[in-house]
Amino acid sequence: MNEQITNSAPNDLYIGGKWVEGTGGDRFDVLNPADQTVLASVASGTVEDAIKAIDAAEAAFADWAGRSPRERAEILRKAWELIIADKERFARLITLENGKPLSDARGEVAYAAEFFRWYAEEAVRNRGEVMMSPASGARILVQHKPAGIGVLVTPWNFPAAMGTRKIGPALAAGCPVVIKPASATPLTMLALMPVLAEAGVPAGVVNVVPSKSSGKIVDAMLHDARVRVVSFTGSTEVGRTLLKSAADNIVNPAMELGGNAPFIVCDDADLDKAVEGAILAKMRNIGEACTAANRFFVHDKVYDAFAEKLTKRMGAMKMGNGLEDGVEVGSLVNADTRNKVTELVDDAVKRGAKVLCGGKVPEGPGYFYPATVLGDVAPDSQCVSEEIFGPVAALQRFSDDDEMIAKANDTEYGLVAYLFAGDMKRGLALSERLEYGMVGLNRGLVSDPAAPFGGVKQSGIGREGSHEGLKEFQETQYISVEW
């Protein structure tokens, strides 16, 4: 155990409320991306372990689903309190395993915990419906029941929040879960388990199986007839694979996949506000977010002024180990992510983009990449069609709204779009024409536990957060009653 990690979990598998080493005996190292030191060795679950976790979830299901909504709500509320009381420890752990600056990690902990408070409040608002059938006169009685065991697969970019955004509604609905966290960042989810136990979550209701054989163990769980929900956050490519596996047993899918967000600045926008929005939309999490602004479309009339302000702000951002004071650009999560960013920037420059700041990999350890602004990016550049997943703002000009909307919608993704406009009538009219599940209108941040988060097209199926998130873990039952 690395001395930087305090009071942490044993980093084994967490099944049925117990820490177990796993049947295969294999372990894998989790690295600090800022200096490549080993943080911890984590047990790697096998198919046999994953099925044992499903057994534990099944054993816990009836009791958990049978508890009163109020009791489930109180436990979730307690979990929120305990995480907030321990916010700093969780934030440091996220920074250590993910590389993001401590300020981002603190924001993530508050956001992650909020899903427990929100779903504590939703657990007691599980409304049904009664109506009279227009034809037969029978009563139509509709209720929402727990869907069953959920398999939750999460990415490395928000090691806490992408898990709690699923655990919160699952537990509120009465469903037990098995979580497969990302191999790069499993420590935060493991560290959450003693906190959930202290809050009163019974053994077996939440199980965690980290594994280096993700494909095999998730596929095995999706082919176990007891599993009724698969909730995945990650790449569109892996989402497609999971949808295929889920098809065999018709498992309910909830998919939060990739994005390619446009960030639009109209000629009447408040430019200072637009730059602040751009910093949030681009630089939160060092750009390693599905919601990160990927393509900037700036009106010709304000392009130069916006580019200058953004370059000044991004060029001044301090890069370094996320644990250090004042750092705004931490380390990217691994070599592959940084290599991809480098490749996309080099390609854009080859096609004529101007480097306004950044654009060079620094010397030394860690997977750092500086805040970078690219001007006049050619529309056929790879960074226009692919997720950058790094701190690079790629700017293009536009002069006609119709042409800009067509370009903004010209992608297979549809997660989030950002739009800055002075005239709200114009802003709302343009927002409606954007083919995206979410739009930030004069805002660079849309994530909110009370709002339905999710995408259209190949960005996903279903919604997380809000009341809609609960529905992903419920089945509707209708009883036709002769009154």
Question: Which residues contact ligand NAP (rule: CB under 6 A)?
Answer: 153-157, 162, 180, 182-184, 214-215, 218, 233-235, 238, 241-242, 256-259, 290, 387, 415, 455, 460
Nearer to ligand NAP, 356 or 383 (CB): 383
Token readout for 282 is 């681009």
Q: Across 22-122, where does the E strand assignment appear?
A: 27-31, 38-43
Nearer to ligand NAP, 285 or 396 (CB): 285
256 is an active site residue: yes
Active site residue: 114, 122, 256, 328, which one? 256
Shortest distance (Å) from residue 447 CB to ligand NAP: 9
Whose tokens are 């849309």? That residue is 446
DSSP letter at 285 equals: G
Q: How many residues does the chain have?
A: 483
Nearer to ligand NAP, 11 or 311 (CB): 11
Nearer to ligand NAP, 96 or 162 (CB): 162
Shortest distance (Å) from residue 185 CB to ligand NAP: 8
Q: Cα 254 to the chain's mean position, in Å? A: 13
Token readout for 184 is 């790069």
Distance, in Å, from the CA atom of 228 to the CA atom of 441, rounded to the nearest integer, reads 36
Backbone angles phi, psi at 232, to 5 degrees: -125, 135
Distance, in Å, from the CA atom of 142 to the CA atom of 452, rounded to the nearest integer, reads 23
Nearer to ligand NAP, 298 or 332 (CB): 332
Token readout for 221 is 């769980």
Shortest distance (Å) from residue 213 CB to ligand NAP: 8
Shortest distance (Å) from residue 40 CB to ligand NAP: 15
Whether the Cβ atoms of residue 297 and residue 262 lie closer than 8 Å to each other: yes
Q: Cα 211 to the chain's mean position, in Å? A: 19
Nearer to ligand NAP, 95 or 157 (CB): 157
Distance, in Å, from the CA atom of 18 to the CA atom of 453, rounded to the nearest integer, reads 33
Amino acid at 146: P
Distance, in Å, from the CA atom of 186 to the CA atom of 317, rounded to the nearest integer, reads 29
Sheet holding 129-132: strands in order across?
A: 129-132, 139-146, 474-481
Q: Cα 65 to the chain's mean position, in Å? A: 26
Shortest distance (Å) from residue 175 CB to ligand NAP: 19
Shortest distance (Å) from residue 236 CB to ligand NAP: 6
State which residue has the least CB distance to ligand NAP: 234
Token readout for 162 is 């992408």
Active site residues: 256
